[in-house]
Amino acid sequence: MATQFFDLLVVGGGIHGAAIARDAAGRGLKVMLAEKGDYASATSSSSSKLIHGGLRYLEHGKLGLVRESLVERAGLLKTAPHLVAPLRFLLPIYDWQKRQALTLRAGLALYDVLSFGDGLPASGRLDDDDIAQLPRLRQEGLTTVLHYYDCMADDSRLTLAVLLDARARGADILNRRVVTGITALANRYAIEIDERERKRRVEARFVVNAAGPFVPSIDAMMRAPPPPRALRLVRGSHIVLPMPEPAQRDAYTLQDEAERVVFVIPWLSERFLMVGTTEVPHERDPGEAHCSAEEQNYLLAAYNRYFAKPRGAATEADVVFTWSGVRALEGNA
């Protein structure tokens, strides 16, 4: 078979690879995407299923990052309303928490300003009658409950929708397409591919490594790999509990003892509650990520600190299933 030439080869069929392929194909470039497994089979199907601006990053002064994320959220609300839906989040404040209502109200007001024009309701505070009627939320020490809006998404379907749009724009996209070698030539790259047990060789002017936590393994295929980047892998795990009665329609943003954020989100037509996520260093194969017993206990403890079942706390026996995803972040710290 004759060698095919492309402007761009994208390695990785998660949301980042899909978005890069779609954007490049839309600009008239000849694009190939290679995904070794199934589309969105790793990090892009193991998220908290949220499209949000990163409210917690305001505390660190990352206004540009939050604004950029909120602009993307608004764009998805407009272009993919069948996959991205508004969801109200409740933020209970207790007298034992470090972050009290005044600080959080200021942060939510800034969040509203940065998301201006997206059509979502503004943040605010529940009145006392509404707070008293919240099912199962512990009332001891509760000073107030704030609310704000973010969005929930079907992460794997969203990835697939972006890939299909990239294909409609002319990109050559296929899963079970494994990159096995990358060789730098004078002004392009030669790429060896195992495409469903058929060997192929293609050439591309540029290669984008969008393999997420698998980035180092792709870089290592080159005889002269690019300069090593400081990456750290972080595992986020989730547990799923049966939806108690009465059903919970709002999501919750909770603060754990270390002031980290844990979400409690109605999931799958309000049949379940998703509780997540953890943030644990991951040092093994990203493809083997799973929720450890310690992570499960941590999420149960965070949930039980805020909610009470009619017959006691949620336990390991209540966990329907779990999942974990690994993110690649810049830096060693």
What are the tens digits of pLDDT across the range 240-272? Answer: 999 988 888 999 999 877 778 999 999 988 899
Question: For residue 1, what pLDDT is reported?
Answer: 56
Task: Please give the residue that has the higher pLDDT: either 330 or 193.
Answer: 193
Reported confidence tier of residue 125, pLDDT bands at 50, 70, 90: very high
Reported confidence tier of residue 90, pLDDT bands at 50, 70, 90: very high
The whole-angstrom separation of Cα 190 and Cα 183 is 5
The superfamily CATH assigns to domain 4-45+156-229 is: FAD/NAD(P)-binding domain (3.50.50.60)
Q: Work out the angle at residue 75's Cα, subtended by the Cα atoms of residues 26 and 83, and round it to the nearest 5 degrees.
A: 95
Percent of the chain with pLDDT over 70: 98
Q: What is the pTM of this model?
A: 0.89
Domain locations along the chain: 4-45+156-229, 72-153, 231-333
Q: Which one is the CATH code of 72-153: 3.30.70.3290, 3.30.9.10, 1.10.240.10, 3.40.1360.10?
A: 3.30.9.10
Round the average pLDDT of the chain to a whole number and report it: 91
Distance of CA 138 to the CA centre of its chain: 29
- Find where tokens 């690019």 sit: 226
How are beta strands 124-125 and 172-175 bridged, if at all? unpaired
What are the tens digits of pLDDT across the range 97-113? Answer: 888 888 899 999 999 99
Q: Is the Cβ–Cβ distance between 145 and 134 less than 8 Å?
A: yes
The superfamily CATH assigns to domain 231-333 is: D-Amino Acid Oxidase, subunit A, domain 2 (3.30.9.10)
What are the tens digits of pLDDT across the range 152-175? Answer: 999 999 999 999 999 999 999 999
Residue 204 has pLDDT above 70, yes or no: yes
Question: For residue 229, what pLDDT is reported?
Answer: 74
Residue 331 has pLDDT above 80, yes or no: no
Question: For residue 117, what pLDDT is reported?
Answer: 86
Residue 227 has pLDDT above 80, yes or no: no
Q: What is the 3-state secondary structure (H, E, C) of 14-77?
A: CHHHHHHHHHHHHCCCCEEEEECCCCCCCHHHCCCCEECCCHHHHHHCCHHHHHHHHHHHHHHH
Question: For residue 19, what pLDDT is reported?
Answer: 96
| Average pLDDT of the residues in 280-289 | 88
Question: For residue 333, what pLDDT is reported?
Answer: 46
Cβ neighbourhood burial of 21 (10 Å; 0-12, 13-18, 19+): buried
Dihedral pair phi/psi, residue 123, rounded to 5° = -75, 170
Dihedral pair phi/psi, residue 79, rounded to 5° = -90, -20
What are the tens digits of pLDDT across the range 15-68? Answer: 999 999 999 999 999 999 999 999 999 999 999 999 998 888 888 899 999 999
Domains 72-153 and 231-333 share a fold: yes
